[in-house]
Amino acid sequence: MLFKQQALLRQKLFVLGSLAIGSLLYLVARVGSLDRLQPLCPIDGRFGPRGQEEIPLRALQFKRGLLHEFRKGNATKEQIRLHNLVQQLPKAIIIGVRKGGTRALLEMLNLHPAVVKASQEIHFFDNDENYAKGIEWYRKKMPFSYPHQITIEKSPAYFITEEVPERIYKMNSSIKLLIIVREPTTRAISDYTQVLEGKERKNKTYYKFEKLAIDPNTCEVNTKYKAVRTSIYTKHLERWLKYFPVEQFHIVDGDRLITEPLPELQLVEKFLNLPPRISQYNLYFNATRGFYCLRFNIVFNKCLAGSKGRIHPEVDTSVITKLRKFFHPFNQKFYQITGRTFNWP
């Protein structure tokens, strides 16, 4: 009797298992057919009068998953051709500034389904050796993308390197340029902190910030110190304005991007003529890290590298006051040129 009951139970489990496997295979086939029936549409066609509609989650996952495989170099030339993928020159570049939040801005913009980012800093326009390799070398450094998507790269050294504006102008005189800035003194200290950490990793000694930022002979601000010089934003911007009109620049508030990123990202979407797609859903605050992290979909989240948000060393208040007083007239001119005012002391 017990043997018959066990045999009957095994038979029922087999039937149920077969039904479950059959249902799963049907769902897989069904989803595959839906993907074939509903390909990712060109961005210009999708966002007409109904521009506020959400991109289907499946299309977003398709972009993230498929392009990730191509970026890893796992695709054949035939697969690339069949999927209509190309390596495009960037239509927008984050040109600076160093320690202003360029990486955070790039990663956050990549939340938009019409944006594809170059993961590494290319340093094409600011590096003579790379620039001599030619524009096709630069193009081959770009990620694979669909023709309707915008490729964006970031190399913060571009902003302060003298030859770069002319070189970018020769590539594309109508390119859109993004500059992300922070309060100049804070940015300079952050710049110093990054260098200091690198020295400490190599067990090397380094001067205190005060000794670098202030000339010991004159007791005035040391403009030869690169961290100080980089924070004189208007001096660098004036060089760019010899080649590009101010309308081709968008200034991003790096301090606000840390505390309240969505409004800043919405301004960038508008500047790049992108339909609004980044929402509060895509950004969530990580209390442990003290920064906003990114949510691409229900399964894929991402936080910035642990090196972000380094603790700054204590700096003599008199030096901070002296620096802020020094930067003040340059800041006022920067506000006037860009049309954007910041609450910098």
Note whether residue 2 is domain-resident.
Answer: no
pLDDT digits (tens, 9 = 90+) for 44-72: 333 333 333 333 433 444 555 555 555 55
The C-alpha angle 98, 190, 201, rounded to 5 degrees, equals 100
Instruction: Tell me the C-alpha distance between 141 and 138, whole Å.
Output: 5
Instruction: Tell me the C-alpha distance between 72 and 92, whole Å.
Output: 23
Note whether residue 217 is domain-resident.
Answer: no
Note whether residue 152 is domain-resident.
Answer: yes
Helical segments of 1-115, H only: 2-37, 43-46, 57-71, 77-82, 102-109
Note whether residue 127 is domain-resident.
Answer: yes
Annotated ligand binding at 73? The verdict is no
Note whether residue 116 is domain-resident.
Answer: yes
The residues carrying an active-site annotation are 99
Annotated ligand binding at 180? The verdict is no
Annotated ligand binding at 182? The verdict is yes
Instruction: Tell me the C-alpha distance between 238 and 202, whole Å.
Output: 37
E strands present in the chain = 86-87, 92-96, 115-117, 144-145, 150-154, 176-181, 249-253, 283-286, 291-295, 301-302
CATH of the domain at 242: 3.40.50.300
pTM of the model: 0.78
**Contact call for residues 345 and 324 (beta carbons, < 8 A):** yes
pLDDT digits (tens, 9 = 90+) for 209-249: 999 999 999 999 999 999 999 999 999 999 999 999 999 99
Determine whether 147 is exposed, middle or buried from the number of CB atoms within 10 Å of its CB (0-12, 13-18, 19+): exposed
The conformational region for residue 341 under phi > 0 = left, psi -120 to 50 = alpha, else beta, is beta
Q: By residue range, what is the domain housing residue 128?
A: 70-182+230-309
pLDDT at 261 over 60: yes
Instruction: Tell me the C-alpha distance between 81 and 73, whole Å.
Output: 14
In order of 23, 112, 279, 282, 344, the CA distances from 299 in angstroms are 23, 16, 17, 12, 39
Note whether residue 21 is domain-resident.
Answer: no
pLDDT digits (tens, 9 = 90+) for 177-196: 999 999 999 999 999 999 99
**Contact call for residues 168 and 94 (beta carbons, < 8 A):** no
Annotated ligand binding at 190? The verdict is yes
Note whether residue 240 is domain-resident.
Answer: yes
- Give the chain's mean pLDDT: 83
Instruction: For strands 291-295 and 301-302, give the pairing.
Output: antiparallel
Annotated ligand binding at 83? The verdict is no
Note whether residue 173 is domain-resident.
Answer: yes
What is the residue whose two structure tokens read 């298992």? Answer: 17
DSSP secondary-structure letter at 114? T
Count: domains in the chain: 1
